[in-house]
């Protein structure tokens, strides 16, 4: 084990509420710093139930209701000089259509009184987390041996989305499903396998082992939801478009070129880029929204992905929490236009494994002084009991989408996450 792995295993064993924002799988754009934090018994954490519209504050073994809106609770609770860590689930905006979670809380936020910083060495664009640097060209296309097929109802849901597209109700919809794996698994051991199998810039682990409000979130996400800098620049990096790595150098290059040039994949990305430009325009100074990188191919051990960067400068009256709320949920996880498409996918996904819960939300940190950095909750495992594990997966659907291809892409994304649970 590396020192970071050993340290976090000790922290998680000793502290029911803890978090690791893991910089060990960093990209050149995401930095190489890990943050490991833990709470004493009298430290504060927040949970949110969208079904009950309750925000609970937990401290000293007691829980009390402090509001009905997680966004307002964060505005009220995060003080200057403080750093909070947590996730916002898909149903955290009560004004948007999303089914509440049925197991893990819809949101969990922690205020650790103990925080350690670890700098990882970086060679190339990511690290193999056994500690041996992996070249940028490295890839792993082997089958994981853990198939995660879509539900039998996936074709019907896909047909619903196609009908809405043909009517012009949506231009693109992110259709997803949840797979449940029933197996007893230690969250820390599972996460250490996940970060080795699927290193990612927004990797991390959250543990909130509080009776009736338990949550474990194990993330290996490649996608930035929002970064807010000290100068109030806000940046998001939507991913839309995925192809598998090739078995040979020639196949791999061809797969990346297909992603770079395919009209259907490029149109998916462009529609989400326009949506994010509009979202940022709602919170940014006029004339500051820009797209410095449009449809750039990024390569990971099992997939190539098409990534765009959208950036702007927040208006003076917009707080960090308010900016995050207005962008939520990530446009890459809804489609365009956002509200109407969320209504469509909410109906289509009713028979696809339950509510999205934490999946398609955001996970990271928020500072009381303004900066924040959160990733989109994808390539992630969640559990409330360490036995019932949920994996969300899916992809963007347009009128050009093929059912078999979309199902294969969703399965590819889920299989490596599933593999971390073992057989």
- Catalytic: 413? no
Query: Kind of pairing, strands 388-397 and 172-182?
Result: antiparallel
Reduced 3-state DSSP string for 196-219: HHCCCCEEEEEEECCCCCCEEEEE
Q: How far is CA 149 from CA 159, 181, 359, in A?
A: 18, 12, 18
Helix (H) or strand (E) holding 280: helix 263-281
Q: How far is CA 275 from CA 2, 23, 73, 98, 338, in A?
A: 41, 29, 27, 19, 8
Residue 350 burial (CB count, 10 A): 14
Cα-Cα end-to-end distance for the chain? 22
pLDDT for 390 equals 98
Q: Which residues of the chain have pLDDT under 70?
A: 1-2, 26-31, 121-146, 423
All structural domains of the chain, each given as residue ranges with its CATH number in brackets, are 3-419 (3.60.120.10)
Helix (H, G, I), strand (E, B) or coil at 136: coil
- Catalytic: 223? yes
* Upper half-sphere CA count for residue 383 (Cβ side, 13 Å): 20
State the alpha helices, DSSP H only, in 23-68: none
- In angstroms, the CA 98 to CA 351 distance is 14
Q: How far is CA 182 from CA 137, 340, 390, in A?
A: 35, 34, 9
Annotated active-site residue in 240, 268, 338, 349: 240
Q: What's this model's pTM, rounded to 2 decimal places?
A: 0.92
pLDDT for 299 equals 85
Query: Any bridge partners for residue 83, and if so which?
Result: 367
pLDDT for 134 equals 34
Q: What DSSP assignment string belongs to 97-130? A: --PPPSSS-SEEEE--SEEEEEEPP--SSSB-TT
51 in Cβ contact with 41 (< 8 Å): no
Annotated active-site residue in 5, 172, 223, 409: 223
pLDDT for 247 equals 86
Q: Which residue has the tokens 């799988």?
A: 25
402 in Cβ contact with 387 (< 8 Å): no
- In angstroms, the CA 113 to CA 81 distance is 12
- In angstroms, the CA 265 to CA 270 distance is 9
Query: Any bridge partners for residue 258, and if so which?
Result: none
Give the model confidence (pLDDT) of 20-44 as tens digits: 999 877 666 566 788 999 999 999 9
């Amino acid at each position: 084990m590396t020192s970071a792995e050993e340290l976090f295993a000790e922290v998680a064993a000793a502290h029911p509420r803890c978090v690791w924002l893991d910089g060990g799988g960093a990209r050149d754009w995401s930095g190489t710093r890990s943050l490991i934090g833990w709470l004493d018994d009298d430290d504060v954490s927040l949970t949110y139930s969208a079904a009950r519209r309750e925000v609970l504050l937990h401290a000293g073994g007691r829980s009390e209701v402090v509001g009905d809106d997680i966004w307002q609770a964060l505005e009220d609770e995060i003080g200057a000089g403080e750093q909070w860590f947590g996730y916002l689930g898909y149903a955290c905006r009560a004004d948007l259509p999303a089914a509440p979670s049925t197991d893990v809380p819809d949101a969990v936020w922690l205020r650790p009184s103990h925080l350690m910083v670890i700098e990882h060495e970086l060679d190339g664009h990511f690290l193999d987390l056994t500690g041996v640097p992996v070249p940028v060209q490295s890839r792993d296309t082997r089958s994981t041996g853990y198939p995660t097929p879509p539900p039998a109802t996936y074709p019907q849901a896909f047909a619903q989305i196609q009908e809405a597209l043909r009517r012009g109700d949506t231009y693109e919809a992110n259709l997803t499903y949840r797979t449940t794996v029933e197996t007893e698994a230690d969250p820390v051991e599972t996460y250490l396998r996940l970060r080795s199998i699927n290193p990612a810039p927004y990797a991390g682990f959250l543990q909130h082992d509080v009776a009736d409000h338990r949550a474990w979130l194990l993330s290996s996400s490649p996608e930035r939801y929002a970064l807010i800098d000290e100068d109030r620049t806000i940046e998001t990096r939507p991913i839309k478009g995925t192809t598998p790595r090739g078995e040979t150098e020639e196949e791999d290059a061809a797969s990346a070129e297909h992603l770079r040039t395919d009209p259907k994949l490029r149109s998916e990305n462009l529609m989400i880029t326009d949506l994010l430009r509009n979202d940022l325009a709602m919170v940014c100074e006029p004339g500051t929204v820009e797209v410095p990188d449009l449809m750039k191919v990024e390569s990971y051990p099992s997939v190539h992905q098409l990534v765009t960067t959208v950036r702007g400068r927040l208006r003076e009256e917009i707080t960090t929490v308010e900016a995050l709320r207005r962008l939520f949920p990530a446009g890459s996880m809804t489609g365009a236009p956002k509200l109407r498409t969320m209504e469509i996918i909410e109906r289509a996904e009713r028979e696809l494994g339950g509510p999205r819960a934490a999946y398609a939300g955001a996970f990271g940190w928020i500072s009381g002084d303004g900066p924040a950095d959160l990733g989109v909750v994808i390539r992630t495992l969640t559990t409330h009991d360490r036995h019932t594990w949920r994996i969300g997966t899916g992809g963007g659907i347009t009128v050009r989408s093929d059912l078999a291809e979309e199902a294969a892409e969703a399965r590819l994304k889920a299989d490596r996450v599933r593999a971390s649970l073992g057989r």
